[in-house]
Structure 1
Amino acid sequence: MSSPRNGRDSPVTLDGHGPGTGWGGLLAPRLAQFAAVARHEHVTRAAQELGIPQSSLSRALARLEADLGVALFARRGRTVSLTPAGRTFLASAERALAVVEQAAESVRSDADPASGKVAFGFLHTLGWETVPGLLRAFRADHPRVRFALIQDYGEAMLDRLRAGELDLCLTSPVPGPESPELVARRLDEQRLRLVVPEGHRLAGRKRVRLAEAADESFVTLERGRGMRSILDTLCARAGFTPRIAFEGEEAETVRGLVAVGLGVALLPPPAIPRPGVHELAVTAPRAVREIGLAWPAGQPETAPVEAFKRFLLGRRGQLLPG
């Protein structure tokens, strides 16, 4: 955007700012003054409403007209009336002031201790049972707090935290010292299962060593997902590299692929048992994923966010149903 210019074709500046401020920075402090004078059609009464000296208001209006290069008011003694250009400018000024007022009310409402908003992210696999139960328990004591709920995979949620789109998230793996811009606390761990189709050679078993599946084709999540990283790590500990047949975006799709015989999978337990599959406890290596709470380091928190964070931290070891 080009800088507003005055009659001498040099950049107009706002008091205390350098050249190149732009029309938004130049005009914003004066819109309420202009609107007040337009409303009263009298500089003295407008100055009284605004709580500033009449002389200061008169100078501000004169400078506004000089910067715009148009007359906004026709002056008749102590009274003023809008020119056609002034009426056009007033309509836009009032819309701009209304938008600012609405934005201020919105952020004040979001920070209200009783009825503010929390932007909360969580893994898809926690959305069936865990998160609804947590929200119900929290809302028993905070019934008016509102939530913006985001489901995503772990790394994507951490990126949203860094970008300021989320206040808190439940994620796995739990970020560590490699992410100093985030704070994280381990809350619980979830045992993983080897999922096989009905009729599979292992389907009659309750437990299995992961090495017993070394010759199987695996159905898993895409690279970059936390569960994919866990699968690769556990298979390496078991002494083999998994042969990947299919990759999906979320756990229940993977279960469906297992159910129709397209491979086996390593997954957290389902909220609702899935027909067509059998799930075995993995005895070696120890197969778990950690679930943690993460939030941006050093960022001021509203009262609702702080309350929900304390609530979640208080569920350490009891986060997951059962």
Structure 2
Amino acid sequence: MVHEQRSQPRLSPSSDTEDMADLVRLLAPRIAYFAAVARTEHVTRAAQETRVPQSTLSRAMVRLEQDLGVELFARRGRTVSLTPAGRTFLASAERALAEIERAAEEVRADADPATGKVAFGFLHTMGAETVPGLLQAFRADHPGVRFSLVQNYGEAMLEGLRAGDLDLCLTSPVPDEPDLVARRLDEQKLRLVVPADHPLAARRRIRLAEAAEETFVTLEPGYGLRRITDALCREAGFTPRVAFEGEEAETLRGLVAAGLGVALLPPPVLPRPGVAELTVTAPRAVREIGVAWLDGHPDTPPVAAFKKFLLSRRGNLLP
């Protein structure tokens, strides 16, 4: 091999973290070339296997040794053999290449139109009935598509979109943020839930202002339903007096049944004993449900298909 001097300085074994990151960037493109030369022990055959010119391969190996500061090969013409340092480096190089191959297979599988994966987030209140029904309907035409399902509150799911952990999410309120795309799909009526022995329990309808003196149980701040509750009470002319804050709507129903307050909640999947649910006539008590995704984020075929399916359910999302 012809030894070619490089214009940039060699990085020493005592380099700091920043220099080590630079070293990794230099080494990465040459790992596969090195493994091919080590496997064949012949530069010409390795060049044929990797489909690069022999001169390019020779220069890459010289530069790899210069970057590492050690000799990886003992050379005899076009034939080479690994030095002890070369054998040590090869073991790690093969593990790295195997991991890259595994990762490539995984991302290809996730993007497969027939059997790929969708990372889908949704509100806790939609997990018992709405989402299972949606998935059942979608998989009638896409039986092999896999789902990674995440139940959470709205803000956490939006952060999941931004972090790349979610492809799509069903959330409320429908977000209006510059880095996200959101589409309204449906709306869900909210009811004032009171204990079964409450003086209001005999009523079927109520104006929210009539509950101004009641103690409320609500979701914690940051939850979409909490923001909607606060906004509706404000529109009704009062600030709710909150005694308990929770993380799940059915827990709040249990607190109401125990006589610990009243709550504005979406309808339950099954009737809950111990409570009465009143229709709120004023203000209009609903929460909008929408689908959101990260603006500019490319969709894999399974994600695109599921997004199209959700958008087709506008006005018919909820059971």
Q: TM-score range by the shorter chain?
A: over 0.9
State the match for 1:90 in structure 2: 90
Q: Give me the whole-angstrom Cα distance separating, in 1, the residues matched to 2:103 and 2:6.
A: 35
Following TM superposition, by how much is the alpha carbon of 1:180 offset from its aligned partner in structure 2, in angstroms? 1.3
1:207-227, CA deviations, whole angstroms, 9 ceiling, x for partnerless residues?
Answer: 111112111100011111111
Matched residue, 1:275:
273
Alignment deviations for residues 274-307 of structure 1 (CA, whole Å, 9 cap, x no partner):
1211111111111100001111112111111110
Aligned to 2:248: 250
Q: Percent identity?
A: 75
The answer for the alignment partner of 2:190 in structure 1 is 192
Structure 1 partner of 2:220: 222
- Residue type of the partner of 1:288? V
AA at the equivalent of 2:221: R
Q: Deviations over 1:187-232 (max 9, x none)?
A: 0000001111111111122211111211110001111111111111
Aligned-partner SS, 1:48: helix
* Matched residue SS, 2:202: coil
Counting only pairs closer than 5 Å after superposition, residues 57-76 of structure 1 correspond to structure 2 as 57-76=57-76
Instruction: Using the TM superposition, give the Cα deviation of residue 163 of structure 1 relative to its aligned residue in structure 2, in angstroms.
Output: 2.1
Residue 205 of structure 2: aligned partner = 207
Describe the SS at the equivalent of 1:305: helix
What CA deviation, in whole Å up to 9, does each residue of 1:135-168 have, x standing for no partner?
A: 0110111111111111111122112212222111
Name the structure 2 match of 1:3: none
CA contact (8 A) 2:23 2:67 kept: no
Retained in 1: the 8 A contact 2:189–2:286? yes
Q: Which runs of 4+ in 1 moved over 2 A?
A: 6-12
Superposed, which structure 2 residues align to 1:71-150 within 5 Å?
A: 71-150=71-150
Q: Distance in 1 between matches of 2:7 and 2:172?
A: 61
Once the two structures are TM-superposed, the CA of residue 78 in structure 1 deviates from its matched residue by 2.7
SS at match of 1:202: helix
Give the superposition deviation at 1:9. 9.1
How far 1:125 moved relative to its partner? 0.4
Task: Return the TM-score normalized by structure 1.
Answer: 0.92
Residue 200 of structure 2 aligns to a residue in which SS? coil
Q: Distance in 2 between matches of 1:285 and 1:82?
A: 79
**Superposed displacement of residue 11, structure 1:** 5.3
Deviation of the 1:103 alpha carbon: 1.3
Structure 1 stretch displaced more, 157-166 or 252-261: 157-166
What is residue 10 of structure 1 aligned with on the other side? 9
Give 5+ residue unaligned stretches, structure 2.
12-17
Q: Which amino acid aligns with 1:168?
A: L
Alpha-carbon offset, residue 236 of structure 1: 1.6
Structure 1 distance, partners of 2:76, 2:188, is: 78
Which consecutive unaligned segments of at least 5 residues does structure 1 have? Answer: 1-5, 13-18
Q: In the TM superposition, what is the alpha-carbon distance from 1:55 to its structure 2 partner? A: 2.1
Q: After TM superposition, give the deviation of residue 76 of structure 1 in Å.
A: 2.3
Distance in 2 separating the partners of 1:163 and 1:98: 26
Give the number of equivalent residue pairs.
Answer: 308
Q: Report the 3-state secondary structure (helix = DSSP H, G, I; strand = E; otherwise coil) of the residue aligned with 2:26.
A: helix
Distance 1:279-1:174 versus aligned 2 partners, 3 A rule: same
Question: Aligned letter for 1:316?
Answer: R
Structure 2 letter corresponding to 1:79: T
Structure 1 distance, partners of 2:135, 2:224, is 24
Displacement of 1:312: 0.3
User: In 1, are the aligned partners of 2:10 and 2:66 still within 8 Å (CA)?
Assistant: no
SS of aligned partner of 2:101: helix
- Offset, 1:8: 9.8
* Residues 40-65 of structure 1: CA deviation (Å, up to 9, x unaligned): 11111111111122222122112211
- How far residue 7 of structure 1 moved from its aligned partner, in angstroms, is 10
Aligned-partner Cα distance in 1 for 2:119–2:150: 8
Distance 2:215 2:238 in 1: 12
* Structure-2 separation of matches of 1:102 and 1:310: 30
How far is the alpha carbon of 1:83 from its aligned partner? Answer: 1.1
